[in-house]
Amino acid sequence: MESLTSRMQAVQTPIIPVVGELITNSPGTISLGQGVVSYNPPPQAQEFLAKFLAEPTNNLYKAVEGIPPLLTALAAKLQAFNGIEINQNNCIVVTAGSNMGFMNAILAITSPGDEIILNKPYYFNHEMAIAMAGCRPVLVDTDENYQLRPDAIAQAITPKTRAVVTISPNNPTGVVYSEAALRQVNQLCGNNGIYHISDEAYEYFTYNGVKHISPAAFANSSDYTISLYSLSKAYGFASWRIGYMVIPQHLLVPVKKVQDTILICAPVISQYAALGALQAKEEYLKENIGAISQVREVVLESLNHLQDLCTITPADGAFYFFLKVHTQMNAFELVKRLIQEHQVAVIPGTTFGMEDGCYLRVAYGALQQETVKVGMERLVQGLQTILGN
């Protein structure tokens, strides 16, 4: 029977449930772990549920790529915010979150044994999906500030390479890639006949005047750029499971094959909720992300107390900071001790591919200012105590 399970033996265990169990066993722990927001979807999301319920045929399957009104609303959003025009060269597919969009893309563009380039630290579900598909992740180090190194990416391309993955704003580091670097990578993909998979789940979460850049908006890039989006973060939609992808038109048939097999269509009730959420005024995002920006300032103030213990890389996006801890201690052991002895949870960097050194991801989107202040105080005191400072 062992041979029947070999495919999944090569896939890492998701870290969030593991840390979640440690938190459950240590009541009172404040979690700076999972990447979710504290606020709820806009009221328009619930209002549109009545529209779903009023139509008897909504109990039936709908189009694999999404219901037409939502596709229309998403096309308008993409044009207005991302500068991406939906035309005869590309199309939108609504997915059950952007994780599903990534799996759709990998299965649609690869054969077993193909290579996908990930920039380190990577998002763990990306690495897991590649392994599940029987492909090989090729890891390329980012620079000391976790920024892209286009020359290193170019050197990693082989005849088996099918795509380069970028995440901006980034999970787990919070950095935002420059337009120049994204253009270089995108052009590199075009020149080499491979795909650029751009994960933009945190597109609205930028600070200090930094602007989000969508590679699919670059001229002549639509034939090889795959863009992934999510309502989970910006619209507080995590459990509704709605994301979407913008893909080259020539990938629509293979993507639909994947999605029809795994899901058929994203839950139609959630698609109605998403259509409602997109009706929310700009103030909804401005107010909620503004509140997270204030929480971010509290986190930054606390991190200043750790400068002798950690390297803290500047980050202008998402709701993460990625700390390099100056210790030989195993990252997961450190996380366990922080939970069990100091009742604060973070995520070990090993799950993001950072095996050489001790790294921690600090997530601050799910907490109010007062809670995050207490959580950060526990983190600072815990690291100082455990590391003997």
HSE, side-chain direction, 13 A CA sphere, residue 134 = 9
pLDDT of residue 135: 97
DSSP H/E element including 51: helix 43-54
pLDDT range class, residue 6, cuts 50, 70, 90: confident
pLDDT classification of 389: cutoffs 50, 70, 90 = low
Quickly name the fold that domain 43-277 has.
Answer: Aspartate Aminotransferase; domain 2 (3.40.640)
Q: What is the mean pLDDT of the chain?
A: 96
The yes-or-no verdict on residue 143 having pLDDT over 90 is yes
Over residues 212-235, the mean pLDDT reads 97
What pLDDT does 342 receive?
Answer: 97
User: Please, is 193 exposed, middle or buried when counting C-beta atoms within 10 Å of its C-beta (0-12, 13-18, 19+)?
Assistant: exposed
Domain ranges of the chain: 2-40+282-386, 43-277
pLDDT, residue 5, reads 63
* pLDDT at position 77: 98
Token pair recorded at residue 201: 């789940």
What's the pLDDT tens digit per position in 46-66? 999 999 999 999 999 999 999
What is the arrangement of strands in the sheet containing 195-199, beginning at the earlier edge strand? Answer: 90-95, 243-248, 225-230, 195-199, 161-167, 115-120, 136-141
C-beta neighbour count of 328 within 10 angstroms: 7
Percent of the chain with pLDDT over 90: 94
The answer to whether domain 2-40+282-386 and domain 43-277 are alike in fold is no
Per-residue pLDDT tens over the stretch 151-202? 999 999 999 999 999 999 999 999 999 999 999 999 999 999 999 999 999 9
With both helix axes pointing from N to C terminus, report the angle between 282-303 and 369-386 in degrees, rounded to the nearest 10.
Answer: 30
pLDDT value, residue 4: 57
CATH of domain 2-40+282-386: 3.90.1150.10
248-271 residue pLDDT tens? 999 999 999 999 999 999 999 999
